């Protein structure tokens, strides 16, 4: 793919008043761009470089965007280099005023606090937008358990979709705090939303006592040292929280490990919940297209109590 096509792709997505992924080089469909993702958190264009590359074509592209910044409604361009210690951020255009400071963005009518540069991640995983849309559409009247909630974007989607109750659990206190602020930012009135800042495996009994849950969401990291390892712990997760499931519960199981495909999850579910049926894999937004669809983000829906 020519660099010019990357520019066209970005320019097509702009101007934009929503936070979204604009370019997903990590999908491997753009030669020479495999280590670059580009997102918009209006009015900031956020560029992530994952591994050291020849940056010349990227910097030329950003110069092109800079020349049309007013038309594209970009006020700042920041580059985060993930291959360097502490993920330093370069201000390529604009100034530092939106760096390491909380600001609001919206996606599909919901508002979120984000912060660029303070941590590696912004506070909102933009590749999960289809997951949020699905959860919002399927939460009405449901009791929802949102495991690995991070800043609770999926829990917020459930609340916005009129879930009866939502329980968000994440071991990162700061992420849970931000989740509470995200809830406050949206006009969701008296929804019953709770937050637990703890390791999920230390809370099994307490969480299961709060069941049964109609919708279980699990969006774990692929690998986070002792906290969670997909290969080691996903089966344990299903086993531990099985007692919390309603007889006709729906599961939203996310898998973001390029090395593990859909079959990995089918195998686990067949083993732990043989009565559950696979319903669908959510289609990723077209911008996330991948050279190997089995390697890209997998959001898998299963329904318990269907198979006899």
Binding footprint of ligand SAM on the chain (CB under 6 A) = 125, 128, 148-151, 153-154, 170-172, 175, 199-201, 219-221, 224, 227-228
Is there a contact between 144 and 155 (Cβ–Cβ < 8 Å)?
A: yes
Nearer to ligand SAM, 64 or 121 (CB): 121
Shortest distance, position 148 Cβ to ligand SAM, whole Å: 3
**Tokens read off for 104:** 């609001």
Is there a contact between 144 and 178 (Cβ–Cβ < 8 Å)?
A: no
Shortest distance, position 44 Cβ to ligand SAM, whole Å: 19
SS3 label, residue 169:
strand
Shortest distance, position 102 Cβ to ligand SAM, whole Å: 16
Helix, strand, coil abundance in the chain, percent, nearest 5: 35, 30, 35
Nearer to ligand SAM, 130 or 227 (CB): 227
Nearer to ligand SAM, 30 or 150 (CB): 150
Nearer to ligand SAM, 22 or 114 (CB): 114
Q: Find the DSSP H helices in the chain.
A: 3-12, 56-67, 69-72, 129-137, 153-160, 173-185, 204-209, 230-241, 262-272
Nearer to ligand SAM, 125 or 241 (CB): 125
Nearer to ligand SAM, 10 or 124 (CB): 124
Shortest distance, position 217 Cβ to ligand SAM, whole Å: 7
**Tokens read off for 6:** 């990357």
- Residue 2, sorted as left (phi over 0), alpha (psi -120 to 50) or beta, turns out to be beta
Nearer to ligand SAM, 76 or 178 (CB): 178
Shortest distance, position 223 Cβ to ligand SAM, whole Å: 10
State whether the Cα torsion 62-66-69-75 is positive or negative.
positive
Query: Shortest CA distance to 286 belongs to which of 157, 138, 127?
Result: 127
Is there a contact between 45 and 23 (Cβ–Cβ < 8 Å)?
A: no
Shortest distance, position 248 Cβ to ligand SAM, whole Å: 23
Shortest distance, position 2 Cβ to ligand SAM, whole Å: 33
Nearer to ligand SAM, 58 or 299 (CB): 299
Query: Shortest CA distance to 15 belongs to which of 74, 62, 58?
Result: 74
- Cα–Cα separations (whole angstroms), residue 278 to 144, 222, 284: 19, 21, 17
Shortest distance, position 272 Cβ to ligand SAM, whole Å: 18
Other beta carbons within 10 angstroms of residue 290's beta carbon come to: 16
């Amino acid at each position: 793919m020519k660099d010019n096509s990357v520019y066209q792709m970005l320019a097509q997505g702009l101007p934009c008043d929503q936070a979204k992924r604009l370019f997903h080089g990590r999908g491997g469909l753009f030669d020479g761009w495999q280590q670059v993702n580009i997102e918009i958190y209006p009015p900031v264009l956020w560029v992530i470089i994952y591994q050291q590359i020849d940056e010349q074509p990227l910097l030329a592209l950003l110069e092109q965007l800079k020349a049309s910044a007013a038309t594209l409604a970009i006020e700042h361009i920041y580059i985060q280099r993930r291959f360097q210690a502490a993920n330093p951020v370069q201000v390529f255009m604009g100034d530092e005023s939106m760096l390491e400071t909380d600001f609001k963005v919206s996606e599909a009518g919901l508002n979120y606090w984000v912060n660029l540069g303070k941590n590696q991640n912004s506070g909102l995983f933009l590749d999960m937008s289809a997951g949020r849309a699905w959860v919002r559409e399927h939460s009405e009247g449901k009791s929802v358990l949102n495991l690995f909630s991070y800043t609770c974007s999926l829990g917020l989607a459930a609340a916005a979709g009129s879930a009866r109750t939502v329980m968000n659990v994440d071991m990162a206190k700061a992420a849970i705090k931000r989740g509470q602020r995200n809830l406050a930012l949206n006009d969701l009135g008296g929804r019953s939303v709770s937050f637990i800042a703890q390791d999920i495996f230390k809370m099994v009994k307490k969480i299961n006592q709060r069941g049964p849950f109609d919708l279980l969401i699990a969006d774990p990291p692929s690998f986070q040292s002792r906290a969670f390892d997909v290969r080691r712990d996903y089966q344990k997760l299903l086993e531990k929280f099985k007692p919390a499931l309603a007889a006709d519960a729906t599961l939203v199981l996310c898998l973001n490990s390029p090395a593990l495909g859909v079959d990995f999850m089918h195998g686990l579910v067949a083993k732990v919940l043989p009565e559950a049926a696979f319903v669908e894999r959510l289609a990723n937004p077209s911008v996330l297209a991948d050279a190997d669809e089995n390697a890209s983000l997998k959001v898998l829906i299963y329904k318990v109590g269907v198979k006899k």
